Structure 1
C-alpha cells in the first residue's frame, strides 16, 4: 500500500503499461540496433523526440508551481526558431560554427526577454497568468511571421542540424541536452532553498510575502526560465526540420506540456511539484503519440484517442477516485453475507431481539 501511495507510482505505471502494450502488439518495438557506432530504434527515437516537449514542460512545471500558467511557449518556440534560422540564412557562411553559435545565442536571449515580459505582466502588473500569456500566444506567431517575412525560411547548415539529428556517445545530442537541463533544474530547485520558496509562493503567495519571501521575484524568474527553455526547444525543433515554419512550430505544445506536468503528479493549483514526475509525464505523452501512430489512427482522429487515454490515466491517478474506491471497499467488507450473524455496534441488540422473537 505504501508503494501505491507514492506520487510517482501511477505515472510510472502508465508509462510501463504503454510500453507493454506496444511490445505485445509489436515485439520489435523495444528493439535497439547499432549502425555506424550509434544506437537506433523506437526507444532511442522517443528519447530524441521528447527533447522539445521536455524543455517546455520543465519550464511549465516551475510556472505551475507558482500557481501560474504559460500559454505562450509555443509562440516563443516559433519566434526562437525564426530568429535563429533568419540569422543563419542571412549569413554569408551558413555552415560556419561561429554563425550558428551567434544565431543560437541571439534566439535564446530573445526568448528570455519574452519570458521576462510575461513575468513582468504577472508579477509586477498583477495580470492573471492566463490572460498575460495569452497576449504573447496570439502576438508571438505574428512576430515570428514578421521576422521571416511571412515565408518558411529554410537553411542548410550541418552544425545547426547536429543539435537535433547528431549523435554523441551512441545516443542523440538532443537527449543529452534535455538530460543536462533536467539535471540543472533539479540541482537548483532541490539542492537549494529555491524549490521550497517556489512551493511556498504557490501554496499561499500572500503568506509567503508576509513571511519575507520575495514572491514577485520568484514568479518573475519562473516565467523567465519558461521562456528560456521554450527558446531552446524552438531551436531544437527548427534544427530537426531545418525550416522556420511560424504557423506550425510548437503548435499546441503548451497543452501537451500542461498535460505532461499534470500526468507527472503536479497540481494545477500550485505548490508541490515534481521534476521527476514531469520527466515521466513527457515520456508517457511521447510514447502515447508513438502508440497512436503505430495503431494507424488517422491524424484527424488521434486527438480523440489521445484524450480518452489521458482521461483514463488522470482518473486512475485522482486522489478522490482512490478515496471512493477505498470507501466502496470498506462498505463491502462491512456488509454481512447471507447466513452470517450481523457484526458491528448494533449486533448485540439485534441478536437479543432475534432470541426474544424466537422464544
Structure 2
C-alpha cells in the first residue's frame, strides 16, 4: 500500500471511533466468547449486540440533535430534562386513558418542540450564551417533570405505546428502527439540502454568515427545535422501555453522554465540522463501554472513571496533532517498506 492511502486512512475522522469500537468488541469477546452470538428467541433476535443497539437507540437519537446544535457553536444541556418531561407527559395521558396512545405521542413530541423553541428563543433570538440558556431549562424543567409526576414513578401499561420501546419489528427492536429512521431523515436533511452547508457556515464564522445574507438566527433556532424534538423521541423510547415515567431520574446525565458521543464521533466543539455517522459510532462506543464495564466485573462506582479514561484517550488520539503524527508514522513505515522491497529486488 502506498503512502497516500495510508495517510488518508490515518487522517479519516471515523478511523479512531471505529478502532475504539472494535477494541471494545475484542475485549468483550476475550471475556465472553459468545459475545457476538445472535440467536432467535421468542420470534426475535437475541444477543449482546442486539441489547447494545436497543439500549443505545435513545442516546443515538438525542446525539443526532445535539450534533447539529454543536455544529453551530452551541450546546444543549437540557436534553436529559426534555426526555423526562416528554415521558412524564405521555405517562399522564396514558394513565387517564390507556387507549390515547396517539394523543400521548403527539403531546410528548409537542413538549419537545416547545422546549426546543424555548432554548432557541433564548440562544438564537435573544442571544444568550447557549450553555446558560439551556441550563435554565435543565434546572427548571426537571422540576416541571417532577411536578407532572407528583414526585412518583408513573407506570405505563398501554400496549401500543410499550411496543415502541420493548417491541420488535422484523425480529429487530422497534427502538433500533426508530433510531435508524431518525438518522436517515437527518442525513437526508443535511446532505441532500443546503441545510448542512448553512449549518457548517454558521459554525465556522457566524458573523460572516450573517453578513453574506444567511438567516443564521432562524437556522440556529430551528436546530434547537430539532434537538428538543429528538430528545422527546428519546423520552418516548426510554419511558416505553422501562414501562414508566420517572421525573427525577429519567434522562439524568444523558446530556453528558450525548456530548461525549458527538465529540467522540469527530464533531468539533468549535463548530463548523460535524459527522452524523461519527455521532452514531460515538453513541455505540459509550453504550458498549457501559456494557463492557459491567460484564467484566468493574464496580459500578468505577464505571464513570473508566468511561472518562476511554473518552480522554480517544479524544487525544483524534486531535489534529495526533493525526499529523500518525500520518507521518504511516508515511515513514510505507517508505521503509518500499526501500526494503527495493533492496530485496
TM-score using structure 2 length? 0.92
1:7 aligns with 2:13: yes
Is the partner of 2:39 in helix, strand or coil? strand
Aligned with 1:36 (options 39, 42, 55): 42
1:196 aligns with 2:197: yes
How many residue pairs get aligned? The number is 327
What is the alpha-carbon distance in structure 2 between the residues aligned to residue 329 and residue 227 of structure 1? 42
Given that 2:13 and 2:266 are in contact with CA atoms closer than 8 Å, whether structure 1 keeps it comes out as: yes
For residue 274 of structure 1, what is the aligned residue in structure 2? Answer: 275
For residue 296 of structure 2, what is the aligned residue in structure 1? Answer: 295
- Counterparts of 1:201-280 in structure 2, within 5 Å, are 201-280=202-281
What is the alpha-carbon distance in structure 2 between the residues aligned to residue 267 and residue 76 of structure 1? 24
1:79 aligns with 2:80: no
Q: Could you list the per-position Cα deviations for residues 256-315 of structure 1 after superposition, in whole angstroms to 9, with x for gaps in the alignment?
A: 000000010000000011011111111111111110111111211111111112111112
- Pairwise CA RMSD: 1.7
Report how far residue 324 of structure 1 moved.
5.1
For residue 108 of structure 1, what is the aligned residue in structure 2? Answer: 109
TM-score using structure 1 length? 0.88
Cα 1:315–1:149, aligned 2, differ >3 Å: closer, same or farther? same
Q: Which region of structure 1 is more displaced relative to structure 2, 111-120 or 143-152?
A: 143-152
For residue 64 of structure 2, what is the aligned residue in structure 1? Answer: 58
What is the alpha-carbon distance in structure 1 between the residues aligned to residue 21 and residue 326 of structure 2? 22
Q: Which runs of 5+ in 1 are unaligned?
A: 332-359
Runs of 4+ in 1 over 2 A off after TM superposition: 321-331
Q: Could you list the per-position Cα deviations for residues 5-34 of structure 1 after superposition, in whole angstroms to 9, with x for gaps in the alignment?
A: 111111111111111111122111101001
Report how far residue 37 of structure 1 moved.
2.4
Given that 2:71 and 2:271 are in contact with CA atoms closer than 8 Å, whether structure 1 keeps it comes out as: yes
Q: Which runs of 5+ in 2 are unaligned?
A: 1-5, 333-345
For residue 70 of structure 1, what is the aligned residue in structure 2? Answer: 76
Report how far residue 244 of structure 1 moved.
1.1
What is the alpha-carbon distance in structure 2 between the residues aligned to residue 123 and residue 325 of structure 1? 39
- Give the number of the structure whose alpha-carbon radius of gyration is greater: 1
Q: Could you list the per-position Cα deviations for residues 28-70 of structure 1 after superposition, in whole angstroms to 9, with x for gaps in the alignment?
A: 1101001232110001111111111011100000000000000
For residue 344 of structure 1, what is the aligned residue in structure 2? Answer: none
- The higher relative CO (CA closer than 8 Å, separation ≥ 6) is in 2
Q: Which region of structure 1 is more displaced relative to structure 2, 115-124 or 8-17?
A: 8-17
For residue 314 of structure 1, what is the aligned residue in structure 2? Answer: 315
